[in-house]
Amino acid sequence: MQCIKLEYDVDGENFASAGHASESVKRTLKQMGVSPASVRRVAIAMYEGEINMVIHAHGGKAEAEIYPDRIDIYLKDSGPGIADIDLAMKAGYSTATENIRSLGFGAGMGLPNMKQYSDEMKIDSTVGVGTTVFLRVNF
Amino acid sequence: MNVSELVKQAGFAVFTKGEDRAIESGYCGDFLSNIISRAPDACVWLTVMNNVNVAAVASLIDCACIVLCEGVEPDTPLYERGKQLGLWILGANENVYETAKTVARVCGV
């Protein structure tokens, strides 16, 4: 099956460039004629993932595979890992610092938003090693 | 109503300009995760946040314009990114509630 692969380095703790990968994927999907509703779901889910990597994991890699009927996104970092994934998934739960909150993040809605706006989400995390989040959005 | 008409009628400051789009609704908020998941398309987004992440979020949600309330001005990175992305960044001296009333009255949304 035809597939377009995109790869991005997500720069850790650099909020000036945060959103670059999701913005680029959004633009690509728009150009491909994917419906605005689907483009928005992808953009939201991926932006939240990207921001999480910046806030919590000193950055990482974002990979997107675009198929005619869906997009698969892999967000890979070598950050501290998530000790309790169920707790992290809870709306309103956040470990973000006061400084991060003052930037408008840390509402505890990142992972819940990613789940809400994707059709499939898997978190593979080991404390001290890193986290990989898989997101699939069907068009 | 288009953004340029709102600027004229409401007397908002203009920091950066974008495409003169029609305004269809409004949304108030400062928590970026709430905004990206809940703000409707083509809205006027009222906030007091003025850092560069505001530009990324505004671009993702395709809002018609951003209005920084309470006399807040964009910081330099936000100003530069807003210019680069072609976003409307406007300014109002009133608080978010009063500014929202103005937008509602002028735009009928």
Quick check: A114 pLDDT over 70?
yes
Residue labelled with tokens 């419906």: A35
* Per-residue model confidence (pLDDT) at position A16: 80
Task: Kindly state the average pLDDT of the residues B6-23.
Answer: 98
Whole-number Å distance between alpha carbons of B74 and B65: 13
Quick check: A18 pLDDT over 90?
no
- Closest-CA distance, B8 to chain A, in angstroms, reads 29
Average pLDDT, rounded, for chain B: 96
Asked whether the beta carbons of residue B34 and residue A109 sit closer than 8 angstroms, the reply is yes
Residue of B nearest to A101 (CA): B31
CB-based contact, B77 to chain A, within 8 Å: yes
The per-residue pLDDT for range A67-109, each reduced to its tens digit, is 999 999 999 999 999 999 999 999 999 999 999 999 999 999 9
CB-based contact, A23 to chain B, within 8 Å: yes
* Per-residue model confidence (pLDDT) at position A1: 64
* Residues 6+ away with beta carbon under 8 Å from B31: A104, A105, A107, A109
Task: Kindly state the average pLDDT of the residues B59-67.
Answer: 95
Q: Do residues A43 and A95 lie in contact, with contact meaning Cβ atoms separated by under 8 Å?
A: no
Residue A17's pLDDT band, with cuts at 50, 70 and 90, is confident
Of B33, B49, B59, the CB nearest to A48: B33
Q: Do residues B44 and B107 lie in contact, with contact meaning Cβ atoms separated by under 8 Å?
A: yes
All domains of chain A in start order, with CATH: 4-138 (3.30.565.10)
Task: Kindly state the average pLDDT of the residues B20-47.
Answer: 95
Asked whether the beta carbons of residue A19 and residue B36 sit closer than 8 angstroms, the reply is no
Task: Kindly state the average pLDDT of the residues A1-20.
Answer: 88
Average pLDDT, rounded, for chain A: 94
Whole-number Å distance between alpha carbons of B99 and B70: 9
* Residues 6+ away with beta carbon under 8 Å from A24: A6, A8
* Residues 6+ away with beta carbon under 8 Å from B54: A104, B32, B47, B66, B74, B78
* Nearest Cα to Cα of residue B92 among B34, B46, B25: B46
Contacts with B66 from chain A: Cβ below 8 Å: none
Whole-number Å distance between alpha carbons of A92 and B86: 33
* Per-residue model confidence (pLDDT) at position A2: 82
Q: What's this model's pTM, rounded to 2 decimal places?
A: 0.89
Integer Rg of chain B from CA = 12
ipTM of the shown complex = 0.82
In chain B, positions 3-62, which contact chain A (CB-CB < 8 Å)? 30-34, 36-37, 41, 49, 51-54, 56-57, 59-62
Whole-number Å distance between alpha carbons of A50 and B88: 24
Pairing of strands B65-68, B43-47: parallel
Fold of B3-107: 3.40.1390
Whole-number Å distance between alpha carbons of A93 and A5: 33
Task: Count how many residues are written for chain A.
Answer: 139
